[in-house]
Chains A and B, each alone.
Chain A
């Protein structure tokens, strides 16, 4: 999570970049090198289908200043196979990460305490085997982090967390935009840029 002190000092904060792309081999690399070339670390990266078939959606989490994020977003949108890029602060989005935790079944079974802690942390059981049990929790970083601490004393065997997935609060999706993109002469809607969007809450280029 972005630390407010840090934001004040460096101007850096968490930004989630959402990129709509064609589903094509190589686009991941084209996007990734935009960051690595500038020695910027990607905190988390998720690619998934979008609301539209054959169009992929990247969620990229980075910790940077808005100016840098804006420039990066433009470089991403410049790629031939990228349709559209948005960037948002945490306030603009609904976001979640999913984590899986593997713990020894005997300990979990013995200690009722664990079960209660799991409930308190909103975790649920995915599988129970004789030797191990897998829990799942979904939430913000500090929530899934907290559960690691909770489970550590009970012999946490394995932990994994997914990349951030995010929905932009103030967005009406991409269906209508895509139709614009498919036109030879797209309307202003698609050609919009940040200067034209000053009045809107969503950054878009």
Chain B
């Protein structure tokens, strides 16, 4: 049968339809998209969906969070460890506005997420109805795409579009707002058809061979080439392709915090972390390399420091799936647009097998300086208060770099990113771009649901923990196994550090008191312990890791420790301070 006839016959054949509600069609669509876990919170305008969910309990696991923000961060954590699209539900009005932080976080960190919000009846739109808010316009700047559904028949196709947009190209969050009448409306459901093409949307630019060739020639003639890699490697599931590229080229590679783990921490060509609190060598060498190969990273200001003194001597090759990232912050000499899963193998095929012994030795020399002046003391203090670094170091020793590390935001985050060992990809879950305090605890819950077989350790400061600690309730009710480690320095440490270094020690509102965290955990039936002296640390960590179920470990660390090295704001990366 030729195609025209085939098409004609499907057109004329009676379609099998069933009469279902919009809510049922939504849940069927989620199942068709492979969704297993939903993080959500019910409310008036989303009640028909929750009513339908009552009958889908065996197919869709719904995790009741304690605040919609927690729902979004959990969906993000889930997406980041599983590689799938995270899903969060919220009601209209305050439920929807509570999603904004998580959406913004997912937008800037390119996390695939679909949020479903209930909305007032369509006939009430614009009347200031109870719990009505203009969620579409509120979330426009923080979503990759959003859409309001007022008729049930739109649900299957819009949902399909939402998932396609969220996960394809440069991933991102999508929000669908569904009016209550559409959730209730019965309509003829023709089944779920996944979306594979939107004419106005091109998820990946076509790879242009000539640029790959130009890039390869540039790499082959480079004397001091340097690779910077970001989350794009993970998002493109291109870890193997990336490793092959790095190993064949023999080029030292440094990571942004979201790129951590794309190749193991201990890989001989992994030279460390970039940026404000990154490693010494990568920052200094940024301004001495001759060819810079940026892969799936976006030259965030925390990575580049002062732009007019950033890698001016280097030719820049930029591989990115998002054309808007090319030349946005750093001018690319060779733009290699496309999915790095496709471009990296093309590049690897064209480059020479090399070892850059002397160049690599320079990195090692900087490493030694950093170890001698900063790292050794941070990881192995012999006396005085405990440091965050030594806690992470002990944790590495016990987990052997196999755990998923989820962090919150602040000093502990930088220390964890600097010192945590990652043997596998999708192991460092942190709020990179937005720097969302309160991200850690709910993201850890989602991270564990995303990879139930792995140990998930949430490392959180005393400040950030108090922003979303109500999610202990989610842990309690869901019975999920998350290890929570609070590094308590009794300060909002990162702000305090800046106040010390740049504001003459005027400690303005950074002194934070905390409740008894162990008792708080206990109130939620979560086991816990507080460690105040070095001698107890290892045993306590072991107890936490061996405990069946969630566990909260509070570690009292030095009150006024600073994270170093540091590129002060407004300075060049090569002016990085070791103390």
A interface vs B, CB < 8 Å?
21-22, 25-26, 29-30, 33, 37, 70-71, 74-75, 77-78, 80-83, 178, 181-182, 184, 186, 188, 190-191, 193, 195-196, 205
CA distance A195 to B165 in the complex (A): 26
- From known contacts A29-B137, A80-B200, A83-B200, infer whether A196 and B208 are also in contact, taking CB-CB under 8 Å: yes
- From known contacts A26-B140, A80-B165, A188-B206, infer whether A195 and B200 are also in contact, taking CB-CB under 8 Å: no
Indicate whether B145 reaches chain A with its CB closer than 8 angstroms: yes
Residue pair B140, A80 in contact (C-beta under 8 Å) = no
Q: How distant is B104 from chain A, measured CB to nearest CB, in Å?
A: 12
Residue pair A191, B206 in contact (C-beta under 8 Å) = yes
Residues of B153-211 whose CB lies within 8 A of A: 165, 196-202, 205-206, 208, 211
CB neighbours (8 Å) of B199 from chain A are 83, 178, 181-182
CB neighbours (8 Å) of A71 from chain B are 324, 327-328
Most chain B beta-carbon neighbours within 10 Å: one of A37, A71, A80: A80
Residue pair B141, A191 in contact (C-beta under 8 Å) = no
- From known contacts A71-B328, A182-B199, infer whether A78 and B140 are also in contact, taking CB-CB under 8 Å: no
11 A-B pairs with C-beta separation under 8 A: A26-B146, A30-B140, A74-B323, A77-B324, A78-B322, A80-B165, A81-B201, A184-B196, A186-B206, A191-B206, A193-B323
Indicate whether B360 reaches chain A with its CB closer than 8 angstroms: no
Residue pair B201, A80 in contact (C-beta under 8 Å) = yes
CB neighbours (8 Å) of A75 from chain B are 324
CB neighbours (8 Å) of A191 from chain B are 202, 205-206
CA distance A81 to B198 in the complex (A): 9
CB neighbours (8 Å) of B146 from chain A are 26
CB neighbours (8 Å) of A30 from chain B are 140
Q: How distant is A203 from chain B, measured CB to nearest CB, in Å?
A: 14
CA distance A81 to B324 in the complex (A): 15
CA distance A188 to B206 in the complex (A): 7
Chain B minimum-CB-distance residue to A24: B147
Chain A minimum-CB-distance residue to B329: A71
CB neighbours (8 Å) of A188 from chain B are 206
CB neighbours (8 Å) of B205 from chain A are 191, 193
CA distance A82 to B199 in the complex (A): 9
Q: How distant is B342 from chain A, measured CB to nearest CB, in Å?
A: 13
B interface vs A, CB < 8 Å?
136-137, 140-141, 144-148, 165, 196-202, 205-206, 208, 211, 322-324, 327-328, 335, 337
CA distance A182 to B200 in the complex (A): 8
CA distance A104 to B481 in the complex (A): 80
CB neighbours (8 Å) of A74 from chain B are 323-324, 328
- From known contacts A29-B137, A193-B337, infer whether A184 and B197 are also in contact, taking CB-CB under 8 Å: yes
CB neighbours (8 Å) of B327 from chain A are 70-71
CB neighbours (8 Å) of A196 from chain B are 208
Residue pair A80, B198 in contact (C-beta under 8 Å) = yes
Residue pair B322, A33 in contact (C-beta under 8 Å) = no
Q: How distant is B125 from chain A, measured CB to nearest CB, in Å?
A: 12
CA distance A181 to B327 in the complex (A): 25
Given contacts A181-B200, A191-B206, 14 further A-B contacts (CB under 8 A): A21-B200, A22-B200, A29-B137, A33-B140, A37-B141, A70-B327, A71-B327, A75-B324, A80-B145, A80-B165, A80-B198, A80-B200, A81-B200, A181-B199
- From known contacts A26-B140, A29-B140, A188-B206, infer whether A195 and B201 are also in contact, taking CB-CB under 8 Å: no
CA distance A74 to B141 in the complex (A): 16
Chain A minimum-CB-distance residue to B164: A80
Chain B minimum-CB-distance residue to A82: B200
CB neighbours (8 Å) of A190 from chain B are 202
Chain B minimum-CB-distance residue to A191: B206
Q: How distant is B160 from chain A, measured CB to nearest CB, in Å?
A: 14
CB neighbours (8 Å) of B206 from chain A are 186, 188, 191
Chain B minimum-CB-distance residue to A36: B141
CB neighbours (8 Å) of B322 from chain A are 78
CB neighbours (8 Å) of B328 from chain A are 71, 74
CA distance A190 to B196 in the complex (A): 18
- From known contacts A191-B205, A191-B206, A205-B323, infer whether A80 and B144 are also in contact, taking CB-CB under 8 Å: yes
Chain A minimum-CB-distance residue to B205: A191
CA distance A98 to B196 in the complex (A): 43
Chain B minimum-CB-distance residue to A21: B200
Q: Which 8 A-B pairs have the closest CB atoms?
A: A191-B206, A74-B324, A181-B199, A83-B200, A80-B145, A80-B201, A78-B324, A184-B197
CA distance A54 to B541 in the complex (A): 62
- From known contacts A83-B199, A83-B200, infer whether A195 and B211 are also in contact, taking CB-CB under 8 Å: yes
CB neighbours (8 Å) of A195 from chain B are 208, 211, 335
Chain B minimum-CB-distance residue to A189: B206
CB neighbours (8 Å) of A193 from chain B are 205, 323, 335, 337
CA distance A191 to B201 in the complex (A): 11
CB neighbours (8 Å) of A186 from chain B are 202, 206
CB neighbours (8 Å) of B144 from chain A are 80
CB neighbours (8 Å) of B137 from chain A are 26, 29
CB neighbours (8 Å) of B136 from chain A are 26
CA distance A25 to B337 in the complex (A): 30
CA distance A12 to B5 in the complex (A): 58
CB neighbours (8 Å) of B324 from chain A are 71, 74-75, 77-78
Chain A minimum-CB-distance residue to B335: A195
CA distance A82 to B145 in the complex (A): 12
CA distance A188 to B136 in the complex (A): 34
Q: How distant is A39 from chain B, measured CB to nearest CB, in Å?
A: 14
